[in-house]
Structure 1
């Protein structure tokens, strides 16, 4: 079952249809205009799938699906999403979800009693919850952990995103949360003490847990900001000269005061900004993993849509990571399951003639 048919949800519907072992049995929508529309039409497939979208939760849960792919917006409705999950899990329905990202690995970030409520609901229903995506997600949990299987000694792991956000389409996120286009005298909400660790600390803590490393507490937060040297007109907002135009931050896990696991984001709104900050080895943006030790290793992961840009493909790889994980999540023990615990997930069955 697909829960929500926004930009990501429409991709998830198509992804479910592409997986040979999955059958779409229901679709939840919150927009009244979508009620009664075939899921294939909502997903832009140009054909019917024989599944009609509805906003009737009871009707959908009565279908008794094995799993729900949950792509509804969660960052501004954290507690409603938690309540959704508890209800699904108690009903015995496995869930793979794109958020809230805190649940990618919530230990040390969320109160343990809140985590326990989800675990209790899962055990009551015999169901499993898995939250993942690309960042936080595959690019900074699965990919670096796979690389560590080649290590003899690990001194430092650095994972992160280097990106040009000039074509990023989320205006509210760009301006209000990140502070782009706002005065350099105003500290954006993202950079208030504890916020970076709340958003990305799960990445650092999951890597530490997988490597059996005990980190110092609290995690360390660092950031730099740079103003625009000229007026910029972005897809999401305007950035007048002198206002914030570039941001670099780190969330750091230390051991005895020494950096060991670093989550880094380097965000520009013009490709010529901050020439001394990290840049991709190729192209304008990437996810990068650096492992210092023996041997030293670097991987840069990029993506691009067949008929669009990296923003579209970023949504697509998120949707596919979730949908392709459904079978493994259904097979997992009841509770919360994390990327570090799942078996290898592949695109089995997706190579076509």
Structure 2
């Protein structure tokens, strides 16, 4: 059976999702939505960076794409600075009877305990009204924070704590809005960006902690956040921007799940704009990695290195997109409603070995 798919946005993640959809023999790309007039009318192959045309052209006409009644929308539009608008978009898709896999808003990967019930209920109602399913992966890529730690936990005799880390050099990450506006790189250390405003870290990544807690039957007392920022010791060049000496150039944040007064679950990001910064902070395996530590009996430490044409940052984007696309058949076949990673069966790179 082939599933008819619409790709929604063609930014960093969307461009790679397009490539992944086109590569999958069980998927049929029928439409592409773009936010930019400059991209309208372009072939999906060009937008995906391929050397051939696919025969599907991009459009800004959202209603025309919904009228196609695809089996699934791959939603990768950025939502960090338009959370409520993104939620409304997802509800529109669901009411139209269209299943959705999405990279954002990240708190929807497991909103229970993070969002109030009155914020979750309208999404579930929209899904049930349309008889469709929604699954949000997050963007870490999400599987580094759910299936990987849970897989390791199955080989434990005793678990004292689990730490999931992203340790990356972001100097090659091609997303100025995220780097400078949301994460605050290049800004004064006492000027807090959106990401570091009170409660934002626990909103965005508290869902990771609560999903792990639910899967491991841990009763949490609270979810807390902590961060550190360090300045650039001299000017740094990132893309077309210069990071001035003394402005933010390294960020370490942690979101902790507290149970019985202990930090039992931790989500940590260690982000540098140059590998020599913050030498005392955790160091990556290779140029960048996702790290899972299960402390107990036995202790496990898993370092996952990733590269795409030698670039670890791009590889993270590819992994985020590909996991969404891999899940399409499972999400289409699932019960209507809001799904979490624990609702999905094992999804694989089926059909990709040539």
* TM-score normalised over the length of structure 1: 0.94
Counterparts of 1:73 and 1:241 in 2: how far apart (Å)?
Answer: 30
- Which of 265, 275, 283 aligns to 1:261? It is 265
Distance 1:181 1:51, change over 3 A: closer
Counterparts of 1:123 and 1:57 in 2: how far apart (Å)?
Answer: 22
Alignment-derived partner of residue 301 in structure 1: 304
Counterparts of 1:13 and 1:249 in 2: how far apart (Å)?
Answer: 32
Alignment-derived partner of residue 43 in structure 2: 38
Is 2:196 aligned against 1:191?
Answer: yes
- Which of 309, 313, 329 aligns to 1:327? It is 329
CA contact (8 A) 2:170 2:313 kept: no
Moved more, 249-258 or 268-277: 268-277
Q: What's the CA shift for 1:97?
A: 0.6
Counterparts of 2:194 and 2:63 in 1: how far apart (Å)?
Answer: 38
- Which of 226, 231, 243 aligns to 1:222? It is 226
Moved more, 329-338 or 44-53: 44-53
C-alpha deviations, 1:56-98, integer Å up to 9, x for none?
2222222111111111121122222211111111111100011
Alignment-derived partner of residue 150 in structure 2: 145
Q: What's the CA shift for 1:164?
A: 1.3
Question: After the TM superposition, which segments of 4 or more aligned residues of structure 1 sit over 6 Å from their partners?
Answer: none
Q: What's the CA shift for 1:330?
A: 0.8
Distance 1:272 1:89, change over 3 A: same
- Which of 331, 338, 342 aligns to 2:344? It is 342
Q: What's the CA shift for 1:204?
A: 0.6
1:162-311 matches, within 5 Å, as 162-217=167-222, 219-235=223-239, 237-280=241-284, 282-306=285-309, 309-311=311-313
Q: Partner of 1:279: helix, strand, or coil?
A: coil
Counterparts of 2:192 and 2:85 in 1: how far apart (Å)?
Answer: 28
CA contact (8 A) 1:162 1:278 kept: yes
Is 2:13 aligned against 1:8?
Answer: yes
CA contact (8 A) 1:99 1:132 kept: yes
Is 2:82 aligned against 1:63?
Answer: no
C-alpha deviations, 1:108-162, integer Å up to 9, x for none?
2222112110101111111100011441611111211111111121110000111
Counterparts of 2:34 and 2:243 in 1: how far apart (Å)?
Answer: 35
Q: What's the CA shift for 1:267?
A: 1.6
CA contact (8 A) 2:166 2:290 kept: yes
Alignment-derived partner of residue 119 in structure 2: 114
Mark the runs of 5 or more structure 2 residues left unpaired by the alignment.
1-5
Counterparts of 2:240 and 2:263 in 1: how far apart (Å)?
Answer: 35
Q: What's the CA shift for 1:163?
A: 1.2
Q: What's the CA shift for 1:171?
A: 2.6
Mark the runs of 5 or more structure 1 residues left unpaired by the alignment.
none
CA contact (8 A) 1:133 1:321 kept: no
Moved more, 150-159 or 78-87: 78-87
Q: What's the CA shift for 1:324?
A: 0.5
Distance 1:67 1:185, change over 3 A: closer
Alignment-derived partner of residue 86 in structure 1: 91
Q: Partner of 1:316: helix, strand, or coil?
A: helix
Is 2:50 aligned against 1:48?
Answer: no
Q: What's the CA shift for 1:174?
A: 2.4
* TM-score normalised over the length of structure 2: 0.93
Counterparts of 2:172 and 2:187 in 1: how far apart (Å)?
Answer: 18
Alignment-derived partner of residue 3 in structure 2: none
Q: CA RMSD in A?
A: 1.7
Counterparts of 2:149 and 2:100 in 1: how far apart (Å)?
Answer: 24
Moved more, 231-240 or 109-118: 231-240
Moved more, 227-236 or 15-24: 227-236
